Amino acid sequence: MRKIFGRLYYIVKKNMRSLLVFEIMYRTATFLLSGYCVQTAIDFSLKKQGFSYLTAENYTSFIFHPLSVVLALAVFLQILFFLLIEAGALITCFEASSNRQKVTPGDLLFGGLYRTFIMIRKNKAAWILAAGLPAPIMELHLIVREISYIKLLQFSAQQLYKAVPWHWVLFAVCGLLLAFSLLFIYILPGSFMTGGKLGKRVPEALKLFRKNAGKTVVGIAVINILVALIVGTVYLIAVIFVVLYSMLTKSTAMAAGAVLTYSRWLDIGLGLAAGAVELVLTLAFVFVIYEKAYPDSVSNWKKRILFPRHTSKGLKLRRRVAGVLTAVLLVSEGFYGVYVMIQSRQTAENIWNSVGITAHRGGALMAPENTVSALAYANDTLCDYAEIDVQETKDRVLVLLHDNSLKRTAGLKENIWNVTYPQVSKLDAGISFHKKFRGEKIPTLEEAINFSKGKLDLNIEIKYNGENKGIAKRVVREIEKNDFADHCVITSMNYDFLKQVKKANPDIRTGYIMTMTYGSIANVKYADFFSVKHTYVDEDFVAEAHACGKEVHAWTVNYRGDVKRMINCGVDNIITDNPVLVRKVLDQESDTRTGFWELMKYALRI
């Protein structure tokens, strides 16, 4: 194994400079192009399906629509095509290094394009297998990081995790997928270095894996651990630099926002770097084993692939052209990257605007949720709003309750629509929280309004459970009866409820609750503001909402770093279980520390 890694080190180091320039250029270009294509595909599918915005509620119908499936496959093929070109370029580099030859970044690009063209011409659609089968094991780090910070992929992974009750099954499937991918890890070197059709290369690759199974498994494991250590170390060093830079160049109030801004860009950059390093080392490893098994495949590389029948003059001209194109691409990508960072940078240097505070579920940190005691806590902590959840009983009485079932908060294993109010009124909503709240009742909406009058405004979320289609109009009537329209907002995940509210009383402000965000919000006319899960809030969404004259409320924000990020994004209201913490951050009290270690925690999200 030591000899294999020694040889790997040599073939990577021999053309390290060209390899580094090529990877930076190629990864950046393909990342930007792929991102643009993904965004265009999603926008096009949304438009054709009649959705103005992608939310958790329309996610399933959107994602499984035939058009979405076709576009997803097209994007997947594009990514595989880019991977194939990159792999061809890397194999070209390793062959040159093996023959003690120097190559330029332009040579690598031309080599990758030429070899990809030959493979597709000889194998037609089978090239998809050549790129797709080893892709999971070769790009494991990139796949994991992409899922972690691309909102749509992240949400899809979360939905899949929730949909499968036996989580071990998901982990087992992922393990089997990686193991299956590992079997075909020698396909690309064989296909590129010996040519011919994949029908011959696949048995050859499987045979080579069987002979070197132990070395391959250990080698790939070592490489993945090494990549994780390298990326983790570089990330930690970069975060320390970012924290120190922010402390030296930003005010105390703005330092945390700046750290959160720059650390997001570090995440993206290191995600690309992790994918590049893993692919380079993995392909170099399998190349070393392949060249040892088939030494003749490397000996005539220059005549056969990279420079077929070129004169010395023509070769110099091509290299000059390639060098100019490489320089132009690098400069263009650099300027574009700076432009994007400036355009999308969070407004950490701006004066913090006045941000409202809403106590989640009435004030569920210090009192039982959705109770009068919780509302009292929200009032005592000077909240602007208390958010409450409204459902209705079997006899159509509006009560405060988050879950469909009464089991969690009141100990009764019954759904709210199967229970009458006299039954609900006898339940204890406080004992499950703390014994000092024994006897706390589940209040009606009218009781909550009467308590809040003159003290506290309410964010009234209407829950949809399939059994309460007329609830929106009854909530409006209750508000009007108690003359509370100017002191409340109505929110819901069900957009039809908001439409019913606006038709019943256009003066009541409404908010559309969204667990994810994507698309255009210009046509969401029955919502005056958007209530969005904080992990999906960014400065672009806030700017678009404000441009449409709508506010953004972020939920549920309970950590100091997240509070500061929301403030720097420009949100109008923060919904939290900990209003005291949010108030301290807003007021920049002494408890809100912004020293070195505190900023490190923000950057590392711990």
Collapsing DSSP to helix, strand or coil, 509 comes out as strand
**Of the candidates 322, 347, 370, which is a domain's last residue?**
322
For residues 111 and 207, membership in a common domain is answered with yes
List the one residue out of 176, 185, 264, 174 whose CA is nearest residue 223.
185
* 437 & 317 share domain: no
pLDDT given for residue 486 in this prediction: 92
Contacts of 97 (CB under 8 A, 6+ apart): 10, 11, 12, 13, 14, 15
pLDDT digits (tens, 9 = 90+) for 66-91: 999 999 999 999 999 999 999 999 99
Q: Are residues 384 and 305 in the same domain?
A: no
Burial of residue 46 (CB within 10 Å: 0-12, 13-18, 19+) is: buried
* 411 and 283 together in one domain: no
Packed helices 252-293 and 16-49: angle between N→C axes, nearest 10 degrees: 110
Query: Is 349 within the bounds of a domain?
Result: no
What is the average pLDDT across 398-407?
Answer: 95
Q: Which domain holds residue 543?
A: 356-604
Q: Is 344 exposed, middle or buried (0-12, 13-18, 19+ CB in 10 A)?
A: middle
H-only helix segments in 526-587: 539-547, 560-569, 579-587
Q: Please report which confidence band the pLDDT of residue 344 belongs to, taking 50, 70 and 90 as the band edges.
A: very low
Q: Is pLDDT larger for residue 281 or for residue 142? A: 281
Strands 509-514 and 518-519, by their bridges, are: unpaired
Q: Is the pTM of this model over 0.75?
A: no
Are 133 and 229 in the same domain? yes
Annotated active-site residue in 402, 487, 546, 553: 402
Average pLDDT score over the chain: 84
Q: Of all helices (H) and strands (E), which one includes residue 139?
A: none
CB proximity list for 588: less than 8 A, separation 6 or greater:
252, 253
Does 338 map to a domain?
A: no
Q: Which of 141, 167, 310, 360 is catalytic?
A: 360
The last residue of one of the domains, among 277, 306, 322, is 322
Domain containing residue 387: CATH number? 3.20.20.190
pLDDT tens digits, one per residue of 240-283: 888 888 788 766 656 666 676 677 778 778 878 888 899 999 99
**pLDDT category of residue 347 using cuts at 50, 70 and 90:** very low
Burial class (CB in 10 A: 0-12, 13-18, 19+), 195: middle
Mean pLDDT in residue range 547-564: 89
CB-based burial label for 1 (10 Å; 0-12, 13-18, 19+): exposed
Closest by Cα among 79, 209, 100, 95 to 150: 79
Number of domains in the chain: 2
Q: Are residues 373 and 316 in the same domain?
A: no
360 is catalytic: yes
pLDDT at position 343, please?
43
**pLDDT higher than 90, residue 483:** yes
The CA distance from 599 to 67, in Å, is 44
Same-domain status, 262 and 367: no
Give the whole-angstrom CA distance, residue 380 versus residue 139. 52
Do 130 and 277 share a structural domain? yes
56-78 b/e (C-beta count within 10 Å ≥ 16 → b): bbbbeebbebeebeebeeebeeb
pLDDT, tens digit, for every residue of 157-210?
A: 877 888 888 888 888 999 999 999 999 999 988 888 877 678 888 898 899 999
pLDDT category, 606, cuts 50, 70, 90? low
Q: Would residue 400 count as lying in a domain?
A: yes
- Tell me whether residue 339 is in a domain: no
CA neighbor of 400 nearest in space, from 454, 367, 439, 441: 441
In a domain, 231, yes or no: yes
- 120 within a domain of the structure (yes/no): yes
- Please check whether residues 429 and 314 belong to one and the same domain: no
Task: Give the single-character DSSP code of 250.
Answer: S
Q: Is the pLDDT of residue 101 over 60?
A: yes
Amino acid identity for residue 367 in this structure:
A
Instruction: Tell me the residue type at 457.
Output: D
Q: Based on the domain organization, do 473 and 573 belong to the same domain?
A: yes
User: What DSSP string runs through 390-449?
Assistant: EEE-TT--EEE-SSSEEHHHHSEEEEGGGS-HHHHHTS-SSTTT-GGGTT----BHHHHH
Contacts of 560 (CB under 8 A, 6+ apart): 256, 581, 585, 592, 602
Residue 266: which of 246, 237, 227 has the closest Cα?
A: 237
| Chain segment 205-221, per-residue pLDDT in tens | 899 999 999 999 999 99
In this structure, the answer to whether residues 288 and 362 fall within a common structural domain is: no
Answer whether residue 348 is part of any domain.
Answer: no
Pick 152 or 309 by higher pLDDT. 152
Q: Of 322, 342, 368, at which residue does a domain stop?
A: 322
More confident call, 502 vs 191 = 502
546 is catalytic: no
Most trustworthy range by pLDDT among 62-66, 319-323, 328-332:
62-66
Give the amino acid at 423: Q
Looking at the structure, tell me whether residues 80 and 175 fall in a common domain: yes
Q: Please check whether residue 346 lies inside any domain of the structure.
A: no
What's the pLDDT score for residue 294? 83
Mean pLDDT of 9-37: 90
